[in-house]
Amino acid sequence: MDITTTMDGSTCTLAVSGRLDTLTAPELQTPLFDSVGKNKVTILDCANLEYVSSAGLRVLLMAEKSAKAGKTKLIIQNISAEIREIFDMTGFSDILTIE
């Protein structure tokens, strides 16, 4: 997994590519949680994300809970039809802010 971080004022965008699975979820967890804790808005750009496993979903759920607790916002953008299907089947489409 590759993660590219860009800042625009109080908005941090994390662009991820590759697979978000058991092996790579810890790689995303630290920068995602840091961003959610420090910035008003964190955008997770998933345009190049190929796959999300249950371990990846866990990281996203924990980040969403952290954002709500800290009164910040986590936005998931540019998901593929395959990732959308995973979010829909697991109920994550109702939990996460997806644009």
Q: 3-state DSSP call for residue 23?
A: coil
**Domains with residue ranges and CATH for the chain:** 2-98 (3.30.750.24)
**Separation of alpha carbons 1 and 49, rounded Å:** 9
Taking the alpha carbons of 45, 49, 52, 58 in that order, is the dihedral positive or negative? negative
- State the DSSP H helix or E strand holding residue 48, giving kind and residue range, or none if neither: strand 41-52
**Separation of alpha carbons 29 and 9, rounded Å:** 22
**Separation of alpha carbons 61 and 66, rounded Å:** 9
Residuewise pLDDT in 10s, the chain (99 residues): 999 999 999 999 999 999 999 999 999 999 999 999 999 999 999 999 999 999 999 999 999 999 999 999 999 999 999 999 999 999 999 999 999
